[in-house]
Amino acid sequence: MSYHLIDAVERLGRPRLLVVGDLIVDRYVWGDAERISQEAPVILLHEQRQEIRLGGAANVAQMVKGLDAEVTLLSVIGADEEGRTACRELQRLDIDCGSVCIDDTRPTTLKTRYMGSAQYRHPHQMLRVDREVRTAITTGLATRLLNQILPHLHEFQAILVSDYGKGLCTGELLRPLIKAARAAGIPVIVDPASHGKCEAYQGATSVTPNRLETTRATGIEVRTVPDAFLAGKALCDQMGLDYAFVTMDRDGIALVHKDGRGEHLPTRPREVCDITGAGDMVMAMIGVGLGAGLEPADLGRLANIAGGLEVEQIGVIAISREEILADLMKSHRSHEGKVLSLAALQRHVVARQKTGQKVVFTNGCFDLLHAGHVSYLAEASREGQCLIVAINSDDSVRRLGKAPDRPIFDQEYRGRMLAALEVVDYVIVFDEDTPHALLHALKPDVLVKGGTYSAEEIVGREVVLAYGGTVKPMGALEGLSTTEIVRRLREQDATVLSMTAHVSHSSPTSDTPAGTLGLERKAA
């Protein structure tokens, strides 16, 4: 599955997304928790530095941007310094904030976190102070926001609604927006507020609630995957959704379609440092994938990875595509999906080289896989972090003139055999007489060849050296080659057939019918 998801990440492109929701400013006060105060039984924090970060829907927009997508934010700030700071940060990140409106009747939502460390350990949150109002925006402001964005709705491939319950995501704003998006064929994903009231989300494409939010919205307590399937179907029915993602922290995601079909998308265990921002990262990954046209199950799988990488960080960090690709490449190797077309393999090679991996390339017929091949492929794999094996097609093998009855095994069988080796990352079949076209297209870092070749004799050497790659001959196990093995097998077969004929001729009354040994040999 990881090979399929790597290809999906490489096909994301640069969709443009609209993020709608409550803008929050997060202020972090970092310090050393030195001692207990003499004035009261509280920890005394010696402040060392302060940091301002984007939160809420602004953080979702930041994470979308971190995934190399274009993003516009539709939100509200107060007429205060925190609002101005947020807009400056959005502009610095190249996030379109032209649709962020000022409401001078409310402050910009500010969360101040005091982060203390003691005895040089990891810092931990000691206290959070919130400054906010949760009253709903006025009808006039909702109309103003709609007038800002509806004329430009056709510019977006997906809409994300990030409702933090601060009063922006009212029915007066969301219902006309969702209706217009549906009419334009633009998917809408909602990360609902924790209060469980979902009337404003009617008609959305999907929602991404966690266990608690799902329980509050449906009245169904979500403890197990079957619970999530039941609750997910209820969400689809209540809101007219196409499907729902019920996020279940360590248990992954339950994907439920409106027809009741459920699919559990598990996640692998992670070392959890900080859960802050994980839901926003899941939302951003689903949105970018949806804007690129990925299937819901793949959206959920990639969201699991993105959210998992987020909880391994301290604080809110935007996860990049390269980090997701690197995580996919570390996952368990399976022979499924290793045999690729050139177009798909090019995307994989680019992805691996982006993450700093060295790509190794070798080629051959590999007609009869033997210990010599296995030894040299293991040696080749140690030259980098990714090994590509290119095999000659059946027609190409015949043109090489190995023998009239070669190849012994067809290209599909040979590809499956090589893909089953753990040291091999990818297999590709080529029909040309040389691998030159593949080398030009893939540009591997290292070209290797097993056997008795010198570096100067390796076919394709000049192509790889021209773009700065390396060419290296591998060793060979003495007396092992496909041609030699086939010759010895044929000699043995001829000897057995000769003995059978002799026995048949000299013992006509034997209980063994004439020619039986020869037939058994062929059957074996």
pLDDT tens per residue, range 252-279: 999 999 999 999 998 876 666 556 678 8
Q: Is 202 helix (H, G, I), strand (E, B) or coil?
A: coil
Point out the catalytic residue in the list 280, 298, 327, 425.
Answer: 280
Q: Is 152 helix (H, G, I), strand (E, B) or coil?
A: helix
Closest by Cα among 225, 355, 248 to 303: 248
Distance CA 231, CA 222 (A): 7
What's the N-to-C CA distance of the chain in angstroms? Answer: 36
Q: Which residue has the higher pLDDT, 248 or 507?
A: 248
Pick the CATH number of 342-473 from 3.65.10.10, 3.30.70.100, 3.90.245.10, 3.40.50.620: 3.40.50.620
Q: What is the pLDDT of residue 495?
A: 59
Q: Is 339 helix (H, G, I), strand (E, B) or coil?
A: strand
Closest by Cα among 294, 318, 295 to 306: 318
Among the residue ranges 198-207, 229-238, 444-453, the one predicted with the least confidence is 444-453
Contact 360, 448 (CB under 8 A): yes
Q: Is 280 a catalytic residue?
A: yes
pLDDT, tens digit, 9 for 90 and up, residues 463-517: 999 999 999 998 765 545 555 665 655 566 555 555 555 555 555 544 444 443 3
Contact 29, 50 (CB under 8 A): yes
Q: What is the pLDDT of residue 447?
A: 96
Q: Which residue has the higher pLDDT, 161 or 412?
A: 161
Burial category of 21 from C-beta neighbours within 10 Å (exposed 0-12, middle 13-18, buried 19 and up): buried
Contact 114, 148 (CB under 8 A): no
Q: Which superfamily, per CATH, for 2-330? A: Ribokinase (3.40.1190.20)
Vertex 291: Cα angle to 285 and 295 (nearest 5)? 75
Q: What is the pLDDT of residue 122?
A: 72
Q: What are the beta bridge partners of residue 386?
A: 359
pLDDT, tens digit, 9 for 90 and up, residues 365-390: 888 777 788 888 999 999 999 999 99
Q: Where are the domains of the chain?
A: 2-330, 342-473, 482-523
Q: What is the pLDDT of residue 290?
A: 95
State phi, psi for 338 to the nearest 5 degrees.
Answer: -80, -30
Q: Is 267 helix (H, G, I), strand (E, B) or coil?
A: coil
Residue 100 above 60 pLDDT? yes
Distance CA 292, CA 289 (A): 5
pLDDT, tens digit, 9 for 90 and up, residues 427-455: 999 999 899 999 999 999 999 998 777 88
